[in-house]
Amino acid sequence: MFKPVRRLIAPAPQVVERDCLRLQLDGREIAVLRVRDPRARRIKLSVDERGARLTLPLRASLVAGERFLQAHLDWLSTQLSRYQQVDAFPALERGVPGLLPLRGALLPLSWHDGRYARIEVTDDGAQFHVPTRLGDAGLRRTLKEFYEAQARADVGRWLPTYLPGLPRAPARVRLKVMSSQWGSLAPDGSMALDLALVLGRPSAFEYVLVHELCHLLQANHSPAFWAEVEQRFPAWRDERSYFHEHGRQLKAQLRRLLQVE
C-alpha cells in the first residue's frame, strides 16, 4: 500500500533571514544586523565583537522590532562603547616594534629578517622572524600557529593532572577562534577551546579546560556538574569573574592581532 503523500513530503525548512538596519547613534551611523530566526522565542538585542544584532521570532513584526530597538538605544550605546574600548588594541604592523599578549602579559615584540617565518620567545620578549617576501597572509598564519603551539603546550601540561577520575580522555582537542564561547565538548568527546584563552592569565585557561573535562562526567550545568568542577578547581568563581571583566578584551585582541598590517 502507498503511504499517505503528506508523510512522504517533508515540510519546507524555515530559513534564517538577515538584513541590515542603519541608524544614527551618538552622532554617527551604525549598522544593526536584523535576523529573523525561526528558533527565536522573543525579540532580543545583543552586541558582541562583530557588532549589534536584533533577533526577531517569526511572529514578531518589523515595526515591533524597530520599536524594541528604539527603546534600548541607551543600552546599545553603552555596549558599543565598551567594545570600542577593547577593540582599540593595535594590530601588529610589520617592522614596527609593538606588544604581543601572551599568558596575561604583554611581551615587547621586535622584528627580524629570517629565512623562514617564526616567533621566538626570549627573556627580552618576542622576536618575529620574517622572510622578505612573506605576505600578510603568511604573517597571520605564522602568528596563529604560534598561539596554537603555545596553547597546546599549556593543555598538554595540565591535562594529565585532571584525567584521573574521568571516564575517558577527550577524543581530540581543537583550538579555534570562537565568537562567544570559551570552550565546548561535542557528544563524540571532541573538545574545542578558544584560541584567545592563551592571551589571558593561565589560571583562566586552565579553568576552561577543567570545565569542559567535567562535561565528560555531566553533560549539563546541573549542581552535580558544578560539584565536579569545584572538586577539581576550587577557584573557578574567580576565573569566571576574570572572564566577565576581561573576556571581551581577550577576544578583541586576538581578532586585531590576526589582522596583521
Q: How is residue 105 written as a grid cell?
A: 602579559
Of 260, 230, 226, 252, the C-alpha closest to 80 is 252
**Amino acid residing at 129:** H
Please tell me the pTM assigned to this model. 0.73
Q: Could you give the domains of the chain?
A: 14-86 (no CATH), 98-257 (3.30.2010.10)
Q: DSSP assignment of 55-107, as one string? A: EE-TTS-HHHHHHHHHHTHHHHHHHHHHHHHHTTSPPP-TTS-EEEEETTEEE
pLDDT digit string (tens) for the chain, length 261 residues:
445 544 444 454 567 888 988 989 888 888 899 999 999 899 999 887 678 899 999 999 999 999 999 999 999 988 887 766 555 567 788 889 999 999 999 999 999 999 999 999 999 899 999 999 999 899 999 999 999 999 999 999 999 999 999 999 999 999 999 988 999 999 999 999 999 999 999 999 999 999 999 999 999 999 999 999 999 999 999 999 999 989 988 998 898 898 854
Tell me how far apart the alpha carbons of residues 102 and 72 are, in angstroms, rounded to a whole number. Answer: 37
Strand partners, 28: 25
